[in-house]
């Protein structure tokens, strides 16, 4: 069984969001839940974009004046390698329809 932690960058999707964060909106990082969670989120293009340590300020993106991005992170957990039997079973449980011929 593998548990994957997915971290998704969410912006407020309005005019105050800077260009960098707009580009990051919806970007997803995937981590193995068995590994220690990283201290920073690294984006292939923008480099370190978020500091996850409790004492840190969060977003590392230098925002231009007049911008207030208020970006947040959404965390999702994906479990794979378990429950596959259940999935295939529920697929087969189609309601039986009786056709009555007159
Ligand atoms: Zn921003």
One-letter-per-residue 3-state SS of 16-75: CCCHHHHHHCCCEEEEECCCCCCCEEEECCCEEEEECCCCCCCECCCCCCCCCCCCEEEE
In the chain, which stretches have pLDDT less than 70? Answer: 82-102
Q: What pLDDT, on a 0 to 100 scale, did the predictor assign at position 91?
A: 52
Distance 18 CA to ligand 1 centre (A): 4
Predicted TM-score (pTM) of this structure: 0.72
Distance 45 CA to ligand 1 centre (A): 15
Q: What pLDDT, on a 0 to 100 scale, did the predictor assign at position 31?
A: 94
Distance 70 CA to ligand 1 centre (A): 8
Distance 63 CA to ligand 1 centre (A): 5
Q: What pLDDT, on a 0 to 100 scale, did the predictor assign at position 81?
A: 79
What average pLDDT does the structure give for the chain?
84
Distance 16 CA to ligand 1 centre (A): 8
């Amino acid at each position: 069984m593998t548990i994957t932690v997915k971290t998704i960058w969410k912006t407020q999707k309005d005019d105050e969001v800077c260009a960098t964060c707009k580009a990051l909106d919806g970007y997803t990082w995937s981590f193995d839940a068995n590994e220690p969670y990283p201290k920073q989120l690294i984006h292939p293009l923008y480099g370190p974009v978020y500091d996850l340590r409790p004492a840190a300020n969060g977003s590392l993106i230098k925002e231009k004046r007049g911008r207030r991005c208020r970006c947040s992170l959404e965390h999702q957990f994906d479990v794979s390698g378990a429950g596959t039997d259940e999935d295939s079973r529920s697929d087969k449980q189609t309601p039986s329809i009786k056709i009555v011929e007159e």
